[in-house]
Amino acid sequence: MGAPKKSLVLLAVTLIAGLAIAVDKEPEEVIEAINKHRSSKLAEARTAQKPVDFNALNREIREMALEGVKGVDPSKIAPEKGYAWAQLYEMAEMPKEVCDAAKVYLTTNPAPAAKFDAQIKMATACNTLKEIDAVIELIAKMSPSNTNQARTLASQTAYVFSESIAGAVGAEKAIAALHSVKKNVMAAEFSAQPADVAAKQNIAQMFAEKEADLLITLKRKSDAIKVLEEGITAVTAIGEDKGGLTRRLASKKTQINMVGTSAPALTSERGYGEFPGLEGLKGKVVLIDFFAHWCGPCKAAFPSMVEMYKDLKSKGLEIVGFTTYYGYYGTERNISKDDEFAKMKDFMAEHKMTWPVVYGERSNFENYGVTGIPHVALLDKDGNVSHIKIGYSEAGMKELRKKIEQLLAD
């Protein structure tokens, strides 16, 4: 009697940089092998007490996924396996195939939660492919079935999809997409548990803040303020605001109202370098950088700022770093203000900060609507706030430099 037939036949094993992957395994088995490899590498790093080289690990995972999908035609996969293949294609960084596999899976009429998972993968892949019309159509149809899915769709729409939509077809369509998604997300089932209440409040805050940002790009300042006020009302209507979300929305109002008006004075206690006050800097373009010694994104922005200062100071740019006391530095805790201030000298040298750094009370942060750092306020030659930028990205720094150069040319 011959050997029993198996549902899959192992044809070959390919070695990739020491990684063994069976070419014709089912997608779930390849995913399991990849997850085991990831877990093994993380465990090895913990045992050796060494940092994980995530770049190398991600390359290995991609290589394993690429080998796993080798020779597979997405149009011929079994529909019920479509989601697993979509996961594998995602690991292989093949967005078109992710779309194709997820689309095949959706023909099986999956349960609501599984349907959502496939749709969000499709939308993310379509966004990568810049197929914006498909993104708009997909996210408008998505109905989250639980809190996690509602949070995922809200954050992806607010922070990723709306940006792509605005860039491709304009802010008006991005706002329309936000509205359609918001309707579906807020209709999801949220329990009365504190975590669900907080999630729903956070979602309301995200939508309000993003819509306000888009309205500002359309020069609809009064509408943006109204949306933020409605957001504050929505957050408080959901429950007690324990996460400071209404304060964040109120700070956003402060930022919007500030643009085009005279910059609030900075009250300084002491600092490094010469700072004559904002009045003394009129006639210059001034970049105020609210930062902290512990802030990673702040540090990431410093090289671009160093380059800007070197290139543009002679043309009229001034940078002022503004910070306050946190009671610690590095691993040292409960240090005095004097000791913390003293450590800033070496911090500035390490990051090549040759501009003045000023220490002052937190009220200065509040006056500028600072809720997260790095927070940059850009002032024109008349001392008016021209632009506010929060957070760090390479693209954001390039855009900031363009704005500075425009103000210098005026």
Write out pLDDT tens, residues 306-356: 999 999 999 999 999 999 999 999 999 999 999 999 999 999 999 999 999
Partners of 384 in the β-ladder: 262
Contact indicator for 11, 23 with CB cutoff of 8 Å: yes
Give the Cα separation of 334 and 320 in Å (integer). 27
CA distances from 119 to 13, 115, 149, 282, 287 (A): 33, 6, 11, 53, 43
Query: In CATH, what class is 270-409?
Result: alpha beta
Domain residue ranges of the chain, discontinuous segments joined by +: 8-109, 131-258, 270-409
Q: Is pLDDT above 70 for 17?
A: no
Percent helix / strand / coil, the chain, rounded to 5 = 60, 10, 30
Determine the pLDDT at residue 24: 52
Please compute the mean of the pLDDT values over residues 40-44 and round it to a whole number: 95
User: Angle at the Cα of 259 (from 257 to 260), degrees rounded to 5?
Assistant: 110
Write down the pLDDT at residue 3.
39
pLDDT computed for residue 313 by the predictor: 98
Q: Which helix (H) or strand (E) holds 271?
A: strand 270-272
pLDDT computed for residue 256 by the predictor: 95
Helix (H) or strand (E) holding 377: strand 375-379
Q: What are phi and psi of 356, to 5 degrees?
A: -65, 145
Residue 112 near residue 99 (C-beta atoms within 8 A)? no
pLDDT at residue 75, rounded to an integer: 87
> Residue with structure tokens 């956003």?
252
Query: Does residue 374 have a cis bond before it (omega within 30 degrees)?
Result: yes
Sign of CA dihedral 292, 356, 353, 305: positive
Confidence band, pLDDT 50/70/90 cuts, at residue 8: very low
Q: In one letter, which amino acid is 134?
A: A
Burial zone of 306 (CB within 10 Å; 0-12 exposed, 13-18 middle, 19+ buried): middle
